[in-house]
Chain A
């Protein structure tokens, strides 16, 4: 961890960050939202689209008219308008923007949530530390990605517990025919035998199985946490009726009750190659309200300083419209938003040109983004992974530095 202190003005700040028990909610906008209809409108130009730009709480800063609520709290948000990344296809983009880097076999880089759960999570907690809330069982390329290895070399125990929508958590209720004492005895016997097998055989598979079993056992005790129906009706109304909004509220609830990282997705709805504006007229207002409610709720509960909220997809959309009323994939210049967790509010980092074709100021790539996320969460981005015979890998490669203007402690 030698490089960690160098990222801060004082070791004391770093130590303080680590003690705070930070958490993270990732609003995963899979499919890739349009920066023009969200954070980087270009009014009066050929690329503007049909929606106007509106002023915000930050003088001189405008966002899409589809985001009036976020406009009112922009002093609490940090916007990066200068994301510039490489992959422009979904699977590769998802890989890079959820893991922080492109694949480099045979090393499987753990996904952001797995790293945060491993570094900051309470592994003895019955509450899952990394939760994926995704009510859409499909998702095209995201569906394929969901079938992959999320935790990578960290191991299955750091993978997500998936819930949401049709994904109720199965088999977590104790049958009535088995009482508490009997259940505890059975568990003790199972634990003894499997641990013995694990030790005798040096079996990673058995270790993984044991970890999974321990997690299921934990889930049995916290299943009500996942029940949207039990959330306060007023909260459910405020967040809005859509599946994504309801699961964003559930994310807040899980964070409040002990989860460390919650990723909220809903399939891949932002991939609007057709009907760009007809879809964004619905998706963006829902996102606008979700961010507004989340940030305000966390702030009112005194949790915003310790909870990082990230809203991003895997890239942006083209400045130009195709003939199907759509915008296509665009990784050269796109936007995302963050709030809380030590991220400085009221910051707009970077800029694009007049029509949004390219980044003109302070380009940010995936490595710098992940260095910023890890740093603000108190996780050393430069840490080396101990991988035996493999070459040296780092949590963030290339000695990437965090974006200092976004860090409260910077």
Chain B
């Protein structure tokens, strides 16, 4: 089993926490950080900053067919760059609020980005209705907005199906909506209450939600992750949780979720399906227990391996041949040192899983 004992090959530090990563080639990565976008050469273990947003960079993606790459940020902007020169090719102010998550369809024709500010909409702090379309789909080659789709803020995760036909988006309240990506027709909608907390101890408001989505290799099921409900959401000690749903059933049916005694506590915010289509990985923060990255069989959901990285994992990538795994994330930002500097707290690790 390749994932039961991963071996760390590389351990890099970046100036600020890494929130997203994408492959630019066999030995090069693109990473989005709190302070901008970096290209990382894995052979030389070096990095260089190539661009920035006016706020955190939430997502990055490659567009190899067009010789470009992309980033989205908490400034609501979507930016295209020339792969050879790193110059900005195009930028779009997609959202008035953050782009929480952005992704490119596998056929590289569509880009989806999700937004939404959680504002008080009721006495118990139910989310207010959206003030702008929560989901936008744009043409990858022109930047033209093709679909503006409605959801309930905040919409925190988005994914395309492997056949590029469908787009799924999940929100704070655990509601998932799936649309035909080209027509904008909504084809499924349901809510799983298991990722959302309503504060009892310290605060009366909602917290949590779905933080990552991935379609299973055959597109028949949808994986999602986050953190289980808590009495005190401020404790961040909800169960590390994934669920797998048959979204084509009417109504959609939950097929599986993190098995009992196979999880610790902490927010899970990244999912990746291994290229061999036998396993998937889930990563996030360790609040309690002994893992913050787990590997699970797609067939029966059983855990086949785990890691304790020592930092919050925000994104997971597998190499195309399945031989390596990339983890990115961030440690707690340290206090300044005696010289007034803040030590690097972004992390990138390469693991051999062959």
Using known A-B contacts A140-B201, A243-B123, A273-B234, determine if residue A279 contacts B207 with beta carbons closer than 8 Å.
yes
A268:B333 contact, CB within 8 angstroms: no
Using known A-B contacts A279-B207, A320-B334, determine if residue A138 contacts B234 with beta carbons closer than 8 Å.
no
Q: Does B121 contact A (CB under 8 A)?
A: yes
A324:B123 contact, CB within 8 angstroms: no
Nearest-neighbor residue (CB-CB) of A275 within chain B = B207
A267:B333 contact, CB within 8 angstroms: no
A267:B202 contact, CB within 8 angstroms: yes
A274:B202 contact, CB within 8 angstroms: no
Task: Please name all residues of chain B whose beta carbon is closer than 8 Å to the beta carbon of A314 when the two chains form the complex.
Answer: none
Task: Please name all residues of chain B whose beta carbon is closer than 8 Å to the beta carbon of A269 when the two chains form the complex.
Answer: 199, 202-205
B125:A272 contact, CB within 8 angstroms: no
Nearest-neighbor residue (CB-CB) of A43 within chain B = B54
Q: Which of A45-53, A78-86, A250-258 interfaces with chain B?
A: A45-53
B205:A279 contact, CB within 8 angstroms: yes
Using known A-B contacts A50-B98, A135-B204, determine if residue A242 contacts B125 with beta carbons closer than 8 Å.
yes
Cβ of B17 to closest chain A Cβ, rounded Å: 8
Within the complex, which residue of B74, B232, B233, B332 is in contact with A323, where a contact is CB–CB below 8 Å?
B332
Interface residues of A in 310-367 (CB under 8 A from B): 319-326, 355, 357
B202:A323 contact, CB within 8 angstroms: no
A46:B16 contact, CB within 8 angstroms: yes
B124:A274 contact, CB within 8 angstroms: no
Q: Which of A13-21, A152-160, A280-288 interfaces with chain B?
A: A280-288
B204:A243 contact, CB within 8 angstroms: yes
A357:B336 contact, CB within 8 angstroms: yes
Within the complex, which residue of A52, A266, A323, A357 is in contact with B203, where a contact is CB–CB below 8 Å?
A266
B234:A272 contact, CB within 8 angstroms: yes
Cβ of B56 to closest chain A Cβ, rounded Å: 5
Q: Does A303 contact B (CB under 8 A)?
A: no
Q: Does B200 contact A (CB under 8 A)?
A: yes
Task: Please name all residues of chain B whose beta carbon is closer than 8 Å to the beta carbon of A321 when the two chains form the complex.
Answer: 17, 332-333
A242:B232 contact, CB within 8 angstroms: no
Task: Please name all residues of chain B whose beta carbon is closer than 8 Å to the beta carbon of A50 when the two chains form the complex.
Answer: 34, 55-56, 74, 98
Between B97, B202, B236, the greatest number of chain A beta carbons within 10 A of the residue's beta carbon is seen for B202
Task: Please name all residues of chain B whose beta carbon is closer than 8 Å to the beta carbon of A139 when the two chains form the complex.
Answer: 201-202
Task: Please name all residues of chain A whose beta carbon is closer than 8 Å to the beta carbon of B334 when the two chains form the complex.
Answer: 320
Task: Please name all residues of chain B whose beta carbon is closer than 8 Å to the beta carbon of A37 when the two chains form the complex.
Answer: none
Within the complex, which residue of B204, B205, B232, B287 is in contact with A140, where a contact is CB–CB below 8 Å?
B232
B205:A282 contact, CB within 8 angstroms: yes
Q: Does A31 contact B (CB under 8 A)?
A: yes
Task: Please name all residues of chain A whose beta carbon is closer than 8 Å to the beta carbon of B74 when the two chains form the complex.
Answer: 50
Nearest-neighbor residue (CB-CB) of B331 within chain A = A323
B332:A46 contact, CB within 8 angstroms: no
Interface residues of B in 37-69 (CB under 8 A from A): 54-56
Cβ of B93 to closest chain A Cβ, rounded Å: 14
Number of interface residues of A (CB under 8 A): 42
Task: Please name all residues of chain A whose beta carbon is closer than 8 Å to the beta carbon of B207 when the two chains form the complex.
Answer: 275, 278-279
Task: Please name all residues of chain A whose beta carbon is closer than 8 Å to the beta carbon of B16 when the two chains form the complex.
Answer: 46
| Interface residue SS majority, chain A | loop
Q: Does B161 contact A (CB under 8 A)?
A: no
Q: Does A271 contact B (CB under 8 A)?
A: yes
Q: Does B122 contact A (CB under 8 A)?
A: yes
Q: Does B342 contact A (CB under 8 A)?
A: yes
Task: Please name all residues of chain B whose beta carbon is closer than 8 Å to the beta carbon of A126 when the two chains form the complex.
Answer: none
| Interface residue SS majority, chain B | loop
Between B312, B332, B334, the greatest number of chain A beta carbons within 10 A of the residue's beta carbon is seen for B332
B332:A320 contact, CB within 8 angstroms: yes
Task: Please name all residues of chain B whose beta carbon is closer than 8 Å to the beta carbon of A273 when the two chains form the complex.
Answer: 234, 236
A282:B201 contact, CB within 8 angstroms: no
B285:A323 contact, CB within 8 angstroms: yes
Q: Does A240 contact B (CB under 8 A)?
A: yes
Within the complex, which residue of B97, B98, B333 is in contact with A46, where a contact is CB–CB below 8 Å?
B333
Q: Does B335 contact A (CB under 8 A)?
A: yes
A138:B335 contact, CB within 8 angstroms: no
Interface residues of B in 303-354 (CB under 8 A from A): 311-312, 330-336, 342
A324 to B333, CA, bound (A): 10
Cβ of B202 to closest chain A Cβ, rounded Å: 4
A339 to B35, CA, bound (A): 36
Cβ of A151 to closest chain B Cβ, rounded Å: 25
Q: Does B119 contact A (CB under 8 A)?
A: yes
Nearest-neighbor residue (CB-CB) of B120 within chain A = A242
A321 to B35, CA, bound (A): 14
Q: Does B31 contact A (CB under 8 A)?
A: no
A281 to B117, CA, bound (A): 7
B235:A320 contact, CB within 8 angstroms: no
Task: Please name all residues of chain B whose beta carbon is closer than 8 Å to the beta carbon of A285 when the two chains form the complex.
Answer: 117, 119
A31:B202 contact, CB within 8 angstroms: yes
A274:B233 contact, CB within 8 angstroms: yes
A321 to B119, CA, bound (A): 23
Interface residues of A in 10-68 (CB under 8 A from B): 31, 46, 50-52
Task: Please name all residues of chain B whose beta carbon is closer than 8 Å to the beta carbon of A266 when the two chains form the complex.
Answer: 203-204
A50 to B100, CA, bound (A): 12
Using known A-B contacts A272-B234, A274-B236, determine if residue A138 contacts B285 with beta carbons closer than 8 Å.
no
Task: Please name all residues of chain B whose beta carbon is closer than 8 Å to the beta carbon of A275 when the two chains form the complex.
Answer: 207, 233-234, 236
Q: Does B118 contact A (CB under 8 A)?
A: yes
B123:A241 contact, CB within 8 angstroms: yes
Between A246, A267, A326, the greatest number of chain B beta carbons within 10 A of the residue's beta carbon is seen for A267
Binding site for A on B (CB under 8 A): 16-17, 34-35, 54-56, 74-75, 97-98, 117-125, 128, 154, 199-205, 207, 232-236, 267, 285, 287, 311-312, 330-336, 342
* Given A136-B204, A273-B236: 4 more A-B contacts, CB < 8 Å: A139-B202, A274-B236, A275-B234, A321-B332
- Could you name 9 residue pairs across A and B whose Cβ atoms are closer than 8 Å? A46-B333, A50-B34, A138-B202, A241-B121, A241-B123, A267-B204, A320-B335, A324-B236, A357-B336
